Chain A
Amino acid sequence: MASSTNSAHEAATGVFPPFDPSTFGSQLLWLALTFAALYILMSKVALPRIGEILEVRRDRIEGDLAEAERLKQKTDQAIKSYEAELADAKQKAHNIAEETRDSIRADLEKKRAKVEADLAKKMAAAENDIRETKEAAMGHVEEIASDTALAIVTNIVGRTAQKATKDAVAKVVKG
């Protein structure tokens, strides 16, 4: 422990060093100087710089996140509009098909109706024809029958009872 160089505390060699008052002055002085220097360096250089770095990073990340959010929304919108358009197109296609089908059906219906009407008319005409023919034929039948009967009667009887024969024939034919 024999210290030879300590001019500052020769008087206090026996004192426990941390409590040696003779060193207080110098320690305080150097502490003040060094701590002041540290404080100035920290508050003027180091801390503003770190703060700025953190700030810039925060802003950057914030900005990137916002950008990501924006792009994501844009994408979502695009997808939505795409889907809406898709649905629209499908609906349209569906409508067109439906319309076409309807118009074709209507056309067909119309044509068929026309054909049927035509057919019905023709049928009616034909029936009419037939009836007329039949009626004409029937008229002829009476005449022929009465002629025939008259001839037979004349042949048999020899005299002609034209009116009676005619009536009788008509009776038969009608009866």
Chain B
Amino acid sequence: MTNSDKNGAGKDAPKGLAGGVPTGDLDARIRAARQKGGYGEYQTKPKEHLSGHAKASRLGTEFIAAILVGGFIGYFADMAMGTTPWFLLVMVLVGFVAGVLNVVRAAARMNAEAIITPDMDLGPKAHRDDADGK
């Protein structure tokens, strides 16, 4: 009961309804419902961090695919121009670089999109801002 301090504050202050503001709890509940936005969105936010398996399969194929594409282009360029094997060699090299680039980009994006939760151990003095990238 908060009557004692009320009585102290102003003599004979109106006591109001017992137990303080009766709608205070309601207020909190409405706010919670708003904040949760629990309608429609079933907390199924796609995990921006793919799981380990997905990451691995992404990075691997991105690398191989670039070499394959480079090789194909080189092979057909050689066929067309009769310059075997120079274009093949050059384009496989280009493909290799492109593959590395793919992997680096994908990894950078994964890092940038990784969800940083407050309880994660980010090492000493790690700030949340670091996660935003760009």
Contacts and interface: CB of A to CB of B under 8 A. Distances in A.
B23 A75 contact: yes
B14 A94 contact: no
A12 interface: no
Contacts of B39: 54, 57-58, 61-62
B34 A65 contact: yes
Given A54-B40, A58-B39, A65-B33, A79 B16 contact: yes
B120 interface: no
A87 B16 CA distance: 9
Contacts, number: 38
Nearest to A94: B12
Nearest to A87: B14
A119 interface: no
A72 interface: yes
A62 B40 CA distance: 11
Given A79-B16, A87-B14, A90-B12, A72 B21 contact: no
Interface string A66-98: 001100100110010011001100100010000
A79 B12 contact: no
Given A54-B40, A57-B39, A72 B16 contact: no
Q: How large is the interface on B (under 10, 10 to 19, 20 to 34, 35 or more residues)?
A: 10 to 19
B81 interface: no
B30 A72 contact: yes
Nearest to B26: A72
Contacts of B16: 79, 82-83, 86
Nearest to B38: A61
Interface in A10-39: none
A86 B14 contact: yes
Interface in A157-174: none
Contacts of B26: 68, 72
B30 A65 contact: yes
B22 interface: yes
A72 B27 contact: yes
B13 interface: yes
A36 B108 CA distance: 35
A76 B12 contact: no
A93 B35 CA distance: 46
Contacts of B126: none
22 contacts: A54-B39, A54-B40, A57-B40, A58-B39, A58-B40, A61-B33, A65-B33, A65-B34, A72-B23, A72-B26, A72-B27, A72-B30, A75-B23, A76-B21, A79-B17, A79-B23, A83-B16, A86-B16, A87-B13, A87-B14, A90-B14, A94-B12
Interface of A: 54, 57-58, 61-62, 65, 68-69, 72, 75-76, 79, 82-83, 86-87, 90, 94
Q: Which 3 A-B pairs have the closest CB atoms?
A: A86-B14, A61-B39, A54-B40
